[in-house]
Amino acid sequence: QAKEQGRDRYHFFTPEVEAASLRRMALEGGLRHAVREGGFSLVFQPIFSSDGTAMTKAEALLRWTHPELGPVSPAEFIDVAEETGQIVAIGSWVLEEACRALVALDPPRDGRFRLGVNVSSRQFSADLVGKIQELLDHHDLDPRMLEIEITERLLLHPSSEVHDQLETLRAMGISIAIDDFGTGYSALSYLNAFRIDTLKIDRSFVMSMETDARARALVGAITRLAHTLEARVVAEGVETPEQANLLAALGVDSLQGFLLGRPMALEAIRGLLYRTGLPHEGPWTPPSGDL
């Protein structure tokens, strides 16, 4: 009887669709709560020069545990937060927490080590530059300690707002990385319109590289292109020594992946940074001023 009724009322909804929309509602509510009461944390994944001699960067990655659903992957909840606009508040928390981490890590003020922070397009509409400037001042940090990771999508049809803010960030000395390069909307036009400091080659290329000569050729070509544009190249998702060797041979500057280190707590990355050491010469640092 009840089953019969249920089937009529939810005629168009399969149990899977229903479960997905319930989960979505639970995520939205959970995020709202976490934004107000706290509940996020950051972990840090090391990035090494491809000769393995120095830690050039680390990437800050957001973690969240829902009170009932347990740990939720950022791939899932960042999407929800972007759709609802909650990403602006969450992104501000991430930037603040990343600055606290930089205070603890205390890297040299010359760009030899940078902390990468992922930033969503919506944050540019909420005065990203002002927010970052305020945080750097408040924590007495050097802009050359920061790298902002953005996606290709943001650069495909950039508003003047985005354009101006990216230029200001670079003029301050913050570097700009293109995340997941090659997966979506790569267009040579934006590489011409913007000075990019770092290209992060997506994990999908690294994964297929060993068996696929075309993927290997692409990694080499992307690396040469980047170097011509005075950008550095990071390969993402490096899991095997064979991949690391191949990437180094192709000229990739730095490596990130489980082979070199999982995302870890602040204390752990701090210890690793001081045991590993920093590069002697700073990576290419953007000139301040003229762009």
Q: Is 239 in the site for ligand C2E (CB under 6 A)?
A: yes
**Considering the complex, what minimum distance in angstroms separates the CB of residue 186 from Mg ion?**
14
Cβ contact 235:244 at 8 Å:
no
Q: Is 86 in the site for ligand C2E (CB under 6 A)?
A: no
**Considering the complex, what minimum distance in angstroms separates the CB of residue 253 from ligand C2E?**
17
Q: Is 257 in the site for ligand C2E (CB under 6 A)?
A: yes
CA distance linking residue 154 with residue 166, whole number of Å: 11
From the list Mg ion, ligand C2E, none, which binds 94 (C-beta under 5 to 8 Å, kind-based)?
A: ligand C2E
CA distance linking residue 180 with residue 220, whole number of Å: 16
Angle at 285 between CA 283 and CA 287, to 5 degrees: 160
Q: Is 261 in the site for ligand C2E (CB under 6 A)?
A: no
Residues in the chain: 291
**Considering the complex, what minimum distance in angstroms separates the CB of residue 120 from ligand C2E?**
4
Residue of this chain nearest to ligand C2E (CB atom): 257
Q: Is 241 in the site for ligand C2E (CB under 6 A)?
A: no
CA 13 to chain centre: 36
Q: What DSSP state is assigned to residue 264?
A: B
Nearer to ligand C2E, 78 or 278 (CB): 78
Nearer to Mg ion, 35 or 117 (CB): 117
From the list Mg ion, ligand C2E, none, which binds 175 (C-beta under 5 to 8 Å, kind-based)?
A: none
CA distance linking residue 148 with residue 162, whole number of Å: 13
Nearer to Mg ion, 13 or 190 (CB): 190
Nearer to ligand C2E, 115 or 231 (CB): 115
Tokens 């920093």 appear where?
278
**Considering the complex, what minimum distance in angstroms separates the CB of residue 69 from ligand C2E?**
16
| Cα separation values, 121 from 3, 184, 189, Å | 45, 15, 19
CA 234 to chain centre: 12
Q: Please, which of residues 22-81 interact with ligand C2E by CB under 6 A?
A: 45, 61-62, 73-75, 78
**Considering the complex, what minimum distance in angstroms separates the CB of residue 99 from ligand C2E?**
13
Q: Is 237 in the site for ligand C2E (CB under 6 A)?
A: yes
3-state SS class at 244: helix
Which listed range, 156-164, 230-238, 247-255, 271-279, lies at the site for ligand C2E (CB under 6 A)? 230-238
**Considering the complex, what minimum distance in angstroms separates the CB of residue 289 from Mg ion?**
27
CA distance linking residue 109 with residue 83, whole number of Å: 36
Residues lying near Mg ion in the complex (CB under 5 A) = 118, 149, 179-180, 236
Q: Please, which of residues 125-184 interact with ligand C2E by CB under 6 A?
A: 149, 179-180
- Share in percent of the chain as helix, strand, coil (round to 5): 50, 20, 30
| Cα separation values, 161 from 28, 93, 166, 207, Å | 28, 22, 9, 36
Strands 198-201 and 232-235: parallel
Site residues for ligand C2E per CB under 6 A:
45, 61-62, 73-75, 78, 91, 94, 118, 120, 149, 179-180, 236-239, 256-258, 263
